[in-house]
Amino acid sequence: MTLRDIFEGAFYSVMLRGRERSQAWDMYQVLRWGFFPLYWKGIWPKGYCLAYCPAELPHAKVPAECVPTPEQLADGDRKRAKPTPMPPCPDYPATSPEGWKELVDRPDRATAFRQHFSPFIHTSDGNELLDLLGKQVSAFKVQGKKLIVQFGGDAYMACKPPWTGSLAAVPPTVGAVIRVHNGMSLFHSGGEADEWRTFNGKTFPHSDWRDWWEGDPDDSDNPFPKMPLIPITTTDGSGLWIIHPDKRLPNGEPAAVYLDARLGDPDPRPIGEIWLEIIASTLTLMDAMKRR
Please write the tens of the pLDDT for every residue from 75-130. 777 765 566 788 899 999 999 999 999 999 999 999 999 999 999 999 888 899 99
Spatial separation of the C-alpha atoms in residues 157 and 99, rounded to whole Å: 17
Q: Which residues contact 208 (CB under 8 A, 6 or more apart)?
A: 233, 237
Kindly indicate the confidence band of residue 163, based on its pLDDT and cuts at 50, 70 and 90: very high
Model-level pTM?
Answer: 0.72
SS3 assignment, position 126? helix
Of 12, 11, 37, nearest to 26 (Cα)? 37
SS3 assignment, position 147? strand
Mean pLDDT score across all residues of the chain: 80
How far out from the chain centre does Cα 269 lie? 14
Spatial separation of the C-alpha atoms in residues 166 and 202, rounded to whole Å: 9
Give the H or E element holding residue 169. none
Spatial separation of the C-alpha atoms in residues 280 and 261, rounded to whole Å: 23
Residue-level pLDDT at 5:
42
Helix extents (H) in 146-185:
172-178
